[in-house]
């Protein structure tokens, strides 16, 4: 079985490497010979008037519902699409899967500087202001507004230049070296929107928003506990009391002010990113292998980003292994309560299993995180373990019913005739015979579970997939981060399957000694 596991791992790695080479054959091709303005030598945008967006596709981040704003300028936009993070949206724009991408001026300017072939649309959609979000009616809002009003304008401008500038060595976050006598505030922050708020080389949150919050916290003498999450989850976390403040490149619109209060802290604008004319038609002078080496270096070596992958693997394994253990125990316990045909227990169990299995897992996690445990100080990791325990446990219950149901009742009667108690008859006769019916589905569920954990980023968990997203948000590289994540999932699934195979071999009744099988039986 160990050999089979090694073969599966090697096969998975080879498949992913072949896929990487096939994809990367085109990844080194960047827009070098884009059309430029004859007078200024500046790249020319593919669209220059809002009317040219009619019939096109416009994208935005999930949680940024600005379709009506776009339609006020281009009423006949054909389609709107959403993405969970800015790098995915930028890559979709470069690949031609969308025609324009809505963002704010700070994030848009940085994305354009880092990506050849895209440029800012020459006209702003709307001017606005960045804001820190507070729960509606929160007393904290007035305190933080007062602290903000004390900060000199020169300090704010200096911070803005620091985080939107090109000097990466300056982009560090000060330590919280003040006493914090007034307690701790919880801050929900987007971790993929550089330069406003994003995860750094060690996964720590940094950016203009983050340092501004720390500046205000020092004035108020409070400590800050940051939690990184998807942009779409920030306002929900504030409304559900999972966080006291929400930050992360949030533009305070009239619609958002209906749900939360804001401290307005810096001028902003809604802008569109579009492709440059002729982008994608030329090839860079960079060689294929050179582009692979550069992509690998940015993904794994630079800023020791491989450590982020290790941290993500640890979180993914923690959630997966504990969910398997607790889920197996929960499913088995519920089955034991229901196996005698208790009508009340079976109806309750049936309803709860129908409820858990009837909704998408991501919806279940968000209900647990924002509603059921909304006012409880409990981490997203614990919520994820609870959610996947319920999902896996409901599956184990169903597998046990099928497996035990396949065993003839005569086996139980024969065990009674040999002097077995009901408990011994089940555990020593019925259950071992049910395992061959049970284990194939169980092993498949283990593999499905580790892949399903990829959604835990929705409840502020930095698992393997989320770490890949964070790295892509820094490098704007799609290929190596995604392929690395895929390979690691293949390997983890193979290892867990091998472990389950070993357990199955140990408990298989065909591998039991005769003395063990007859233990407890009256043979004389």
The answer to whether the CB of 248 falls within 8 A of the CB of 108 is no
Residue listed under structure tokens 């999972």 = 242
Largest CA distance in the chain: 106
pLDDT band at 413 (very low <50, low <70, confident <90, very high): confident
Mean pLDDT of 362-380: 87
Q: Distance between CA atoms of 94 and 72, rounded to whole angstroms?
A: 25
Q: Distance between CA atoms of 477 and 91, rounded to whole angstroms?
A: 9
Can you give the pLDDT at residue 32? 45
Instruction: State the DSSP H helix or E strand holding residue 218, giving kind and residue range, or none if neither.
Output: helix 208-220
Q: How many residues does the chain have?
A: 524
- Token digits for 407? 């065993």
Residues in Cβ contact with 56 at an 8 Å cutoff, skipping those fewer than 6 apart: 47, 74, 77, 78, 99, 100
Instruction: Check pLDDT > 80 for residue 30.
Output: no
Mean pLDDT of 170-178: 91
Can you give the pLDDT at residue 29? 43
Q: Can you give the pTM of this predicted structure?
A: 0.74
- Give pLDDT tens digits for 376-395: 878 889 999 999 999 999 99
The answer to whether the CB of 117 falls within 8 A of the CB of 94 is yes
- Give pLDDT tens digits for 53-87: 999 999 999 887 789 999 999 999 989 999 888 88
- Give pLDDT tens digits for 285-298: 455 566 677 777 77
Residue listed under structure tokens 């304008």 = 153
Residue listed under structure tokens 């379709």 = 67
Which range (145-159, 175-189, 329-343) has the least confidence? Answer: 329-343
Q: What does the mean pLDDT of the chain come to?
A: 84
Residues in Cβ contact with 359 at an 8 Å cutoff, skipping those fewer than 6 apart: 367
Residues in Cβ contact with 488 at an 8 Å cutoff, skipping those fewer than 6 apart: 309, 313, 464
Enter the DSSP assignment of 45: B
Q: What are the C-alpha distances in Å from 229 to residues 85, 188, 355?
A: 10, 7, 27
Distance of CA 118 to the CA centre of its chain: 26
């Amino acid at each position: 079985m160990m050999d089979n596991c090694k073969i599966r791992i090697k096969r998975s790695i080879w498949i992913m490497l072949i896929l990487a080479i096939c994809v990367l054959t085109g990844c080194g091709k960047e827009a070098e010979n884009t059309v430029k303005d004859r007078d200024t030598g500046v790249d020319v945008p593919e669209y220059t008037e809002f009317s040219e967006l009619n019939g096109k596709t416009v994208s935005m981040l999930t949680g940024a519902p600005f379709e009506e704003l776009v339609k006020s300028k281009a009423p006949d936009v054909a389609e709107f699409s959403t993405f969970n993070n800015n790098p995915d949206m930028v890559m979709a724009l470069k690949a031609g899967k969308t025609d324009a991408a809505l963002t704010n001026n700070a994030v848009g300017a940085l994305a354009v500087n880092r990506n050849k072939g895209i440029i800012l649309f020459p006209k702003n959609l709307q001017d606005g202001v960045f804001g820190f979000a507070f729960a509606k009616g929160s007393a904290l809002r007035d305190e933080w507004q007062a602290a903000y009003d004390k900060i000199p304008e020169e300090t704010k401008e200096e911070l803005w230049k620091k985080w939107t500038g090109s000097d990466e060595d300056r982009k560090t976050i000060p330590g919280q070296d003040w006493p914090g006598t007034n307690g701790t505030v919880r801050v929900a922050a987007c971790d993929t929107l550089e330069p406003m708020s994003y995860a750094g080389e060690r996964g720590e949150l940094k950016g203009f928003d983050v340092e501004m919050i720390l500046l205000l916290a020092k004035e108020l003498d409070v400590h800050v506990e940051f939690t990184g999450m998807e942009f779409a989850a920030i306002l929900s976390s504030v409304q559900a009391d999972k966080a006291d403040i929400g930050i992360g490149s949030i533009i305070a619109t009239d619609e958002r002010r209906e749900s939360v209060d804001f401290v307005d802290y810096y001028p902003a604008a809604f802008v569109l990113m579009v492709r440059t004319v002729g982008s994608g038609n030329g090839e860079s002078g960079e060689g294929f292998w050179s582009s692979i080496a550069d992509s690998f270096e940015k993904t794994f070596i630079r800023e020791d980003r491989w450590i982020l992958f290790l941290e993500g693997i640890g979180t993914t394994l923690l959630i997966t292994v504990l969910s398997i253990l607790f889920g197996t125990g929960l499913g088995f316990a519920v089955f034991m309560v229901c196996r005698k045909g208790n009508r009340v227990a079976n109806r309750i169990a049936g309803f709860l299993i129908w409820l858990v299995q009837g909704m998408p897992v991501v919806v279940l996690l968000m209900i647990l995180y924002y509603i059921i445990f909304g006012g409880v100080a409990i981490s997203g990791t614990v919520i994820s373990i609870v959610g996947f325990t319920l999902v896996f446990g409901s599956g184990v219950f169903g597998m046990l019913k099928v497996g035990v149901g396949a065993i003839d009742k005569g086996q139980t009667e024969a065990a009674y005739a040999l002097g077995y108690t009901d408990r011994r008859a089940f555990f020593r006769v019925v259950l071992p015979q049910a395992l061959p019916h049970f284990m194939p589905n169980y092993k498949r569920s283990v593999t499905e579970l580790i892949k399903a954990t990829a959604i835990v980023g929705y409840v502020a968990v930095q698992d393997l997939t989320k770490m890949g997203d964070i790295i892509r948000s820094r490098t704007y590289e799609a290929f190596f981060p995604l392929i690395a994540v895929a390979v690691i999932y293949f390997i983890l699934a193979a290892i867990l399957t091998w472990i389950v195979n070993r357990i199955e071999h140990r408990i298989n009744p065909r591998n039991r000694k005769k003395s063990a099988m007859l233990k407890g039986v009256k043979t004389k």
